[in-house]
């Protein structure tokens, strides 16, 4: 009995019928059978349900978001998250085949080299974009009048491309360095299929991804705490600004419209006078200052109207 507890279970052919470890062996075999049923039946069914729901929802999200123009950074980040989630979802069928033991014995080598790398790369890509969305919300709410370059869609596209490039740079070596020859002894452990350099890179990527997760978590908490604290302050100054903007923008638009109409009427009268009396030089000399003044006024009012629209757009974001 002490031997079995110290060094593990003896083989069944060496156990006598009267040996007291027979109940332990029976319990162990029952536990192993239950574990096998869970991993080969329950888990594949759960993965299948998640896969079908994710394909349906992500497909709908792709159809919706890619019919929306990239007007804001928030929408563009959401599009990147949808793409990353969809790519991550496409790895589930391979996991279902592996857990249900429907594939050949060497199928796990393909899973270790390609599917697992793609899954985790897209998972951490989604995490990074969630952090960028929280930063974007913080800047739009707490500091709405900051550096305009950070609010531009061009800056958002460049930053998103950098995120994809960095994640691909971290994932590709894991894919390339998982180049061990699969055998029945090493097929169940992905680390045994990696080269020595691949093991080192795998360890480094684990540390990088863990730090990324912690940093994004801290950024999420910090940004939304700052947003919640700034709401009372925003209500004291933003609401009068919104009221003023809502009041002035229609007035600016109406003035620009009336100035445009008056300018057009003046031009029509000038043209009519030229056609009827043939006094083009005299008419132009009389009406030119007024036309120039109205044109300048019209340009100024249109500029003010565009500024009001931009301010309203920032307030809505």
Chain Cα centroid distance, residue 135: 12
For residue 169, give the CATH number of its domain.
1.20.1070.10
Residues 44 and 137 reside in one and the same domain:
yes
Residue 2 lies in a domain: no
Round the average pLDDT of the chain to a whole number and report it. Answer: 74
Q: Whole-angstrom Cα distance, residue 35 to residue 40?
A: 8
Residues 64 and 130 reside in one and the same domain:
yes
**Which pLDDT band holds residue 300 (cuts at 50, 70, 90)?**
low
Residue 26 lies in a domain: no
Residue 9 lies in a domain: no
**Domain boundary pick from 135, 161, 194:** 194
- CA distances 313 to 72, 145, 308, Å, are 10, 12, 9
Residues 279 and 179 reside in one and the same domain:
no
Residue 223 lies in a domain: no
**Which pLDDT band holds residue 40 (cuts at 50, 70, 90)?**
confident
Residues 254 and 178 reside in one and the same domain:
no
The pLDDT value recorded for residue 31 is 55
Residue 266 lies in a domain: yes
**Which pLDDT band holds residue 128 (cuts at 50, 70, 90)?**
very high
Q: Whole-angstrom Cα distance, residue 5 to residue 22?
A: 13
The model's pTM is: 0.63
Residues 182 and 263 reside in one and the same domain:
no
Q: Which two tokens stand for residue 201?
A: 């890179």
Mean pLDDT of 176-194: 84
Residues 150 and 272 reside in one and the same domain:
no
Residue 135 lies in a domain: yes
Closest residue by Cα to residue 159 from 187, 123, 131, 195: 131
Range of the domain at 295: 245-316
Residues 181 and 267 reside in one and the same domain:
no
Count of domains for the chain: 2
Residue 225 lies in a domain: no
Higher pLDDT, 101 or 223: 223
Residues 56 and 146 reside in one and the same domain:
yes
**Domain boundary pick from 179, 194, 209:** 194
Q: Largest alpha-carbon pair distance within the chain? A: 130
Chain Cα centroid distance, residue 134: 11
Chain Cα centroid distance, residue 262: 50
**Domain boundary pick from 164, 194, 224:** 194
């Amino acid at each position: 009995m002490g031997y079995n507890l110290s060094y593990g279970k003896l083989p069944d052919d060496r156990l006598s019928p009267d040996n007291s470890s027979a109940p332990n062996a029976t319990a162990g075999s029952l536990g192993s059978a239950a574990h096998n049923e869970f991993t080969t039946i329950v888990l594949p069914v759960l993965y299948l349900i998640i896969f079908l729901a994710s394909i349906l929802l992500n497909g709908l999200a792709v159809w919706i978001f890619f019919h929306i123009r990239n007007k804001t950074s928030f929408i563009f980040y959401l599009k990147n998250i949808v793409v990353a989630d969809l790519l991550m979802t496409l790895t589930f069928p391979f996991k279902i085949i592996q857990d249900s033991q429907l594939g050949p014995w060497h199928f796990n080598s393909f899973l270790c080299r390609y599917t697992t790398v793609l899954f985790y790369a897209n998972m951490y890509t989604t995490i990074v974009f969630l952090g960028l969305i929280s930063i974007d919300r913080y800047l739009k709410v707490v500091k709405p009048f900051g550096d305009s370059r950070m609010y531009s869609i061009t800056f958002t596209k460049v930053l998103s491309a950098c995120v994809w490039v960095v994640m691909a740079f971290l994932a590709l070596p894991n894919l390339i360095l998982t180049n061990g020859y699969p055998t029945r002894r090493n097929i169940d452990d992905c680390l045994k299929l990696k080269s020595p350099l691949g093991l080192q890179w795998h360890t480094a990527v684990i540390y990088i991804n863990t730090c990324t997760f912690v940093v994004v978590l801290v950024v999420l908490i910090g940004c939304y705490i700052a947003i919640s604290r700034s709401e009372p302050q925003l209500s004291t100054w933003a609401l009068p600004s919104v009221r003023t903007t809502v009041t002035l923008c229609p007035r600016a638009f109406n003035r620009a419209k009336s100035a445009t109409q008056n300018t057009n009427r003046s031009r029509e009268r000038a043209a009519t006078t030229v056609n009827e009396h043939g006094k083009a030089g005299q008419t132009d000399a009389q009406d030119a200052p007024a036309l120039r003044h109205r044109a300048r006024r019209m340009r100024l009012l249109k500029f003010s109207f565009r500024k009001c629209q931009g301010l309203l757009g920032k307030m809505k974001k």
